[in-house]
Amino acid sequence: MLNKILFLVALISFIAALIYAPKLLRVYKMINLYEQDKIAYNFINMDKVFQIGPVIPASKESFAFNTQEFELPQTYFFDGQVRNLIDALDYYETDGLIVLNNDTILYENYWHNNDRSSQHISWSVAKSFLSALIGIAIERGQIESINDPITKYLKDFSNSGYNNVSVKNLLQMSSGIKFNEDYSDYNSDINRFGRTISFGTSMRDFAKSLENEKPQGTYNHYVSIDTQMLAMLLEEVTGKSITDNLKEDIWHKIGMEHDAYYMIDNTGMEVALGGLNASLRDYAKFGLLYLNRGFWEGESIVPAEWVDASHAIDEDHLKPGENSNSSSTWGYGYQWWIPGFPDDEYMASGIYNQHVFIDPTNNVVIAKTSSNYKFPEEKDRSKDEHVAIFRAISSAIAEKK
């Protein structure tokens, strides 16, 4: 009898290990993702850490950039001091840097075993890609109005904090949802999100657990799950996955050079809020699309009006600078940041210093990937200092003309 009991215990333990071991391993990898000696490797090998969706294949007709020699400026000005630019790139653990002037590559370099084909995690740069897809869906009438409540399309959220929150307020991070996005706080909502998704909870279920804190449209507060709500909306109105929408409406239309992929949850839903992995050149190419107001070789890919509105500021709580109605000193558009002063520059930005910087005045796009393990302790400073670096590069280009 004892042998039978021991056998049953062993069998149950074995089955439990088969079921839970992969999930526990993903949680462990998530917790240790940003360690100094692992972060650079992890950021170009996310497919070895998380579940991933179908590959977005490179375009059959890759767009070829022109090239021209250009030396980066030696210095930039920040926090009242002249600083060394190359030292800063080293300090911020730069993995890749590419500088465009219109469709010409002026500078391209890689570090930490990255190269032109490395599929680097975008983090929240992915949000700006999703914004473009939402703009396309609105132009096609698949989303009737930007002012529609999200629950017009996602009725299962009617009893959640997202009830009646408008599409526009989701785009502008003004949903009023209570959310702590502090990556340095182990118990923050965003870190809890990472662990629960790693363990298998669907993003849809996680989003339903969030509560409203402020009236929508009155306060700018960054809530990554707002972007995931937009992804669920896009999937609902198009009947296609985020992967297929991106592949068909952007990736192949602008000649992306390399394959890409999204991380997914256990239901197969893409982590659209930050799970896109692609090459630096293709991130830069997306920036060039926006620099050209959504046009690519004469064809409208993203509506020009949408591109313009994406970095326009139409409400006081979205303005850059000290703002009592915002939790950030940067301004915000439709999933794009506006650092401000001047207000015509705008950026796609992700944690650990992933950036696509667009300067329409000087026709400059700068894309940067990084594995800056120091980011949680230096978040705001590192973001502001990157703007200073990018502005120095853009000014140097303008002076060469």
Answer left, alpha or beta for residue 21, where phi above 0 means left and psi between -120 and 50 means alpha: alpha
**What is the percentage of the chain residues whose pLDDT exceeds 70?**
92
In the numeric block, the tokens 């370099």 are attached to 109
Token output for 287: 């920036």
Count of Cβ atoms closer than 10 Å to residue 70 Cβ:
16
User: Quick check: helix, strand or coil at residue 266?
Assistant: coil
User: Do the beta carbons of residue 355 and residue 348 sit within 8 Å?
Assistant: yes
User: Quick check: helix, strand or coil at residue 370?
Assistant: strand
Asked if the model's pLDDT at residue 17 lies above 50, the reply is no
Q: What is the pLDDT of residue 13?
A: 45
Q: What is the pLDDT of residue 7?
A: 52
Give the end-to-end CA distance of the chain in Å, rounded to a whole number.
88
Kind and range of the H or E run holding 83 = strand 81-84
Token output for 315: 């409400």
Q: What is the pLDDT of residue 183?
A: 80
Query: What is the average pLDDT across 311-318?
Result: 96
- Per-residue burial over 120-146, b if 16 or more Cβ lie within 10 Å, else e, is bbbbbbbbbbbbbbbbbbbeeebbeeb
Q: What is the DSSP letter of 264?
A: B
User: Do the beta carbons of residue 98 and residue 110 sit within 8 Å?
Assistant: no
Asked if the model's pLDDT at residue 238 lies above 70, the reply is yes
Residue range 52-84, pLDDT digits in tens = 999 999 999 999 999 999 999 999 999 999 999
User: Do the beta carbons of residue 303 and residue 133 sit within 8 Å?
Assistant: no
Classify residue 266 as exposed, middle or buried by CB count within 10 Å of its CB (0-12, 13-18, 19+): middle
Give the model's confidence band at 1: pLDDT under 50 very low, under 70 low, under 90 confident, else very high: low
**What is the percentage of the chain residues whose pLDDT exceeds 90?**
85
Mean pLDDT of the chain: 93
CATH of domain 39-400: 3.40.710.10
DSSP states along 178-228: -----TT-TTSHHHHHHHHHHHT--HHHHHHT--B-S-TTS-B---HHHHH
Q: What is the pLDDT of residue 86?
A: 98
Q: What is the pLDDT of residue 106?
A: 98
Query: What is the average pLDDT across 96-125?
Result: 98
Q: What is the pLDDT of residue 20?
A: 45
Question: Closest Cα to residue 334, out of 314, 310, 356, 350?
Answer: 310
Cα 33 versus chain centre, distance = 17
Interatomic CA distance for residues 320 and 313, integer angstroms: 9
Residue range 287-299, pLDDT digits in tens = 999 999 999 999 9
Asked if the model's pLDDT at residue 154 lies above 50, the reply is yes
User: Do the beta carbons of residue 112 and residue 40 sit within 8 Å?
Assistant: yes
Token output for 56: 């977005």
Q: What is the pLDDT of residue 19?
A: 44
Q: What is the DSSP letter of 59?
A: P
Indicate the pTM of the whole model: 0.93
Asked if omega into 149 is within 30° of 0 (cis), the reply is no
Pairing between strand 66-67 and 104-110?
parallel
The one-letter code for the residue type at 250 is I
Asked if the model's pLDDT at residue 310 lies above 50, the reply is yes
Interatomic CA distance for residues 368 and 298, integer angstroms: 27
Asked if the model's pLDDT at residue 95 lies above 90, the reply is yes
Asked if the model's pLDDT at residue 201 lies above 90, the reply is no
User: Quick check: helix, strand or coil at residue 270?
Assistant: strand
Give the model's confidence band at 16: pLDDT under 50 very low, under 70 low, under 90 confident, else very high: very low
